[in-house]
Amino acid sequence: MPHSTGMDTTITTLRNKVMPALKEKIPADKVKWTSRADVAREAKTVVGDFLFSTGIELNLLDQRDLVTSLINHFIAENAGIAAPVQAPQPTAPTGTETNGEHGEAPAVDPYATRNSARATLEQAKNKLQPMVLERIDTSAAAKLPREELSRDLTGLIAELLNENKIHLNAAERTDLVKQLLDDMLGLGPLEPLLADETISEIMVNGPKMVFIENKGKLTLSDVQFRDNAHVLSIATRIVTAIGRRIDESSPLCDARLMDGSRVNIIIPPLAIDGSTITIRKFSKKKITLETMLKFGSISPNMAKLLRIAGRSRLNILISGGTGSGKTTLLNALSQMIDHGERVVTIEDAAELQLQQPHVVRLETRPANLEGNGEVTMRDLVKNALRMRPDRIIVGETRGGEALDMLQAMNTGHDGSMSTVHANRPREAIMRLENLVGMSSANLSPRAIRQQIAAAVDMIIQVSRMRDGSRRVTYITEITGMEGEVITMQDLYTCEVTGETPDGKLAVDFKNHGLRPHCLPKVAYFGLDKQLMETMDG
């Protein structure tokens, strides 16, 4: 649907405000070495940063129009010509009007220039890729270092372009070689997104819809696959690298990339609109409690309390929704573990980043084609108990292994940690009860609650808020039982108090001033004085 005049004016105004930032990213002396694709990537970044910092909200189509307008005007300015607003006016017979009453040329589709450049490169790639594969040994090429293979491909592409009379400029040739390398050695169109450290999540909803999460906000990227077969090919490459499979008989899979990024893949017939890939990217920057404090995710006293809880070997359950930062917080808390302790981690897809020297990492395994050989989380938790662990860390509790984990916490494995999906600490307890019920153990509800009350010391609730930020919203202790009910007390809570001019939520981390129930355990490690100072602060 075409824009209204008011929206066109808004896009123009915003473009003029963002243009200096793009010029700063790509100085004039570097323009001629920058491909259109790279300009597009930088334009998307500066637009995203601008909208995030100003709190301006645009829908996905308006964001695309703003990025497209920015790209077109940037390229036009650096080519020394006026910005491309109108198409060249065709020659018309005398007295014939080209468009309307005044002979204006028809306006250019805002996506035309970008789509034309992309189409040209895509056509060249589709034509040359089979020829490249005919002239090289792909198995040998896959073993070469990327730089060496890039040099060989550059020469081969130059020959093929001359033979087929295809004209590409230097930047387009470089981009073509990069795309071929990504297809041969990497994950094809996803490689630029994986390389962008500002992107935290990638969501492929079929070949033409690739969304990204940047600073807590979802946006539609301009990355596309050729077709469904191309998406499935990349998905297959991901899972086969770790010895798993994805096909009609096994249409969903959890996997990980070589850098540790977590991947979920689901394909037809379960995914109706085409293969879907969701990648939770591995952060190269280690998130610590100090980092979370800097980002405003916790208060200084909350950070002190969490350090004391980790060092005092409290059993901790981290609760939160999808993408709320549960694993990030678990990694941060794990840094409090003493280097002399033996730690066993248990996950569906290994993604924890423990820094201690004595860590044993265990990962589940799906069944083979015959339906045999499956190793579940519960199998691994049971096995971990025979490995003389000081602590057991379960990446995510979501089945019958909850009972085994609680029993481990109650039998000398203090300091164990896990995560669970829930929206409040009380709901986390209810979720844990339900998961224990999945273990087929014949336990009464009261017996299950007694196990939980005896095993879990602290629940930490994390939430992703509407401004994209992630914060610890509750630090809650389990204090025991009264009748049939597990009793709890909130040590700290996070309350939203308003909104700042830049669109960020203003919050207050409230200290409830209660005497911690865990004080005797903390006193055993000589940290009781520090704990009381933290609660009095």
The DSSP code sequence of 77-105 is HHTTS----BPPPPP--TT--SSTTTTPP
pLDDT score, position 101: 42
Residues 6+ apart with CB under 8 A from 24: none
- Token digits for 364? 């589940």
What angle (nearest 5°) sits at the alpha carbon of residue 4, between those of residues 2 and 9?
115
pLDDT score, position 119: 65
SS3 205: strand
- The residue type found at 45 is T
CA 269 vs CA 207, 246, 247, 272, 386: distances in Å: 16, 12, 10, 6, 41
pLDDT score, position 1: 42
Q: Structural domain boundaries of the chain?
A: 1-87, 188-280, 289-536
Residue 422 · residue 446 · CB < 8 Å: no
pLDDT score, position 96: 39
Q: How far apart are CA 401 and CA 419, in angstroms?
A: 12
Q: How far apart are CA 86 and CA 104, in angstroms?
A: 9
Residue 465 · residue 326 · CB < 8 Å: no
123: burial class by Cβ within 10 Å (0-12, 13-18, 19+)? Answer: exposed
Residues 6+ apart with CB under 8 A from 406: 432, 436, 451, 452, 455, 456
Q: How far apart are CA 263 and CA 250, in angstroms?
A: 15
**Residue whose C-alpha is closest to residue 201's, from 262, 286, 119, 152:** 262
CATH 3.30.450.370 fits 188-280, yes or no: yes
Per-residue pLDDT of the chain (537 residues; tens, 9 = 90+): 444 455 667 788 888 888 888 888 888 777 767 777 778 878 888 888 888 788 787 777 778 778 888 888 888 777 643 333 333 334 344 443 444 444 444 444 444 445 555 667 777 777 777 777 777 776 677 677 778 778 888 888 888 888 778 877 777 788 888 877 777 777 888 888 988 888 989 999 988 899 999 877 888 998 888 888 889 988 988 888 887 888 888 888 888 888 878 899 999 889 888 899 999 887 777 788 999 999 899 999 999 999 999 999 999 999 999 888 898 899 899 989 998 899 999 988 777 878 788 999 998 888 776 778 888 888 998 899 889 999 999 988 888 889 988 988 888 889 999 999 999 999 999 999 999 988 877 889 999 999 999 999 999 999 998 888 899 999 999 999 999 999 999 999 999 999 888 888 999 999 998 999 999 999 999 999 999 999 886
Topology of domain 289-536, CATH = Rossmann fold (3.40.50)
* DSSP3 helix / strand / coil % (the chain, rounded to 5): 45, 20, 40
